[in-house]
């Protein structure tokens, strides 16, 4: 039975749409792409990355079954915000239909209703996620450091996700969106003690570092959602889990 299921998976293809890799990639988020591709290759699953830079077509976007978007500085985010609006309807439809995605920092904020800068300037978002982000001002500290959250959405022996956060904005979730996890150590979104967001099969987070290499169980969860399978061939994750455990120990959290 296991061999039969593996053969089915091996004939499937993971098509990763990397949104704005040349502009939204300042925190090492390329590591998320590398992790997904390698974990597929090790299982003999074909993985293709589509580099969706400004001017990409709707057909390219629609061909993807997993979307990834990282963070950037203000100038780059302004360019991306303008271009991304051209694809609002298609992206919204894909997210509503359950196409999985990981949106980090700026990519996370773009999907919300708006972002208010420290000087009070309002930047409208796409309104796909029921949330908004506000920078409380330069007199408030950035939220920087290692973070660990307890997630209830991942069926794995460890439901703890670790990462590194670096953000000035505080993101507030609305009624129709769930948080990604409860903060065990670190800051998270805001004073509510939670981090990130989940809507349908899409995830928003402030975790950099990047997040997937040190959380192989979360990487596999995204792959399973994209391929619509319940299980994947197990891998030897000794090195990945050492990185995972090292952050947890630094935060004095038992795995």
Q: How far is CA 205 from CA 71, 80, 191, in A?
A: 10, 18, 15
**Torsion sign (Cα): 181, 215, 110, 97:** negative
For the chain, state the CA radius of gyration: 18
Question: Is 40 annotated in the active site?
Answer: no
Would you say 105 and 206 are in contact if contact means Cβ atoms under 8 Å apart? yes
**Kind of pairing, strands 131-134 and 114-116?**
parallel
Question: Is 208 annotated in the active site?
Answer: yes
Q: How far is CA 6 from CA 66, 156, 180, 205, 231, in A?
A: 20, 20, 30, 31, 9
Q: Which of 64, 87, 105, 167 is catalytic?
A: 105
Of 71, 57, 141, the closest CA to residue 108 belongs to 71
Q: Which of 87, 167, 179, 208 is catalytic?
A: 208
Q: Which residues are catalytic?
A: 105, 208
């Amino acid at each position: 039975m296991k061999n039969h299921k593996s053969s089915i998976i091996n004939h499937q293809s993971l098509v990763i749409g990397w949104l704005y890799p040349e502009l939204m990639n300042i925190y090492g988020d390329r590591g998320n792409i590398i992790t997904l591709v390698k974990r597929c290759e090790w299982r003999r699953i074909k993985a293709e990355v589509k580099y969706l830079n400004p001017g990409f077509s709707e057909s390219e976007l629609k061909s993807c079954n997993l979307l990834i978007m990282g963070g950037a500085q203000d100038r780059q985010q302004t360019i991306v915000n303008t271009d991304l609006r051209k694809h609002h309807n298609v992206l919204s439809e894909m997210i509503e239909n359950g196409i999985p995605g990981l949106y980090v920092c700026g990519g996370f904020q773009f999907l919300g209703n708006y972002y208010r800068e420290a000087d009070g300037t309002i930047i409208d978002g796409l309104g796909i996620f029921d949330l908004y982000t506000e920078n409380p001002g330069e007199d408030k500290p950035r939220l920087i450091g290692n973070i660990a959250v307890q997630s209830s959405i991942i069926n794995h022996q460890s439901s703890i996700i670790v990462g590194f956060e670096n953000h000035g904005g505080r993101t507030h979730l609305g009624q129709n969106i769930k948080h990604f996890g409860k903060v065990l150590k670190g800051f998270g979104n805001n004073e509510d003690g939670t981090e990130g967001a989940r809507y349908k099969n899409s995830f928003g987070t402030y975790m950099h570092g990047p997040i997937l290499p040190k959380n192989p169980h979360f990487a596999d969860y995204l792959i399973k959602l994209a391929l619509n399978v319940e299980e994947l061939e197990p891998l030897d994750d000794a090195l990945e889990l050492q990185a995972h455990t090292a952050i947890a120990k630094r935060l004095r959290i038992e795995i």
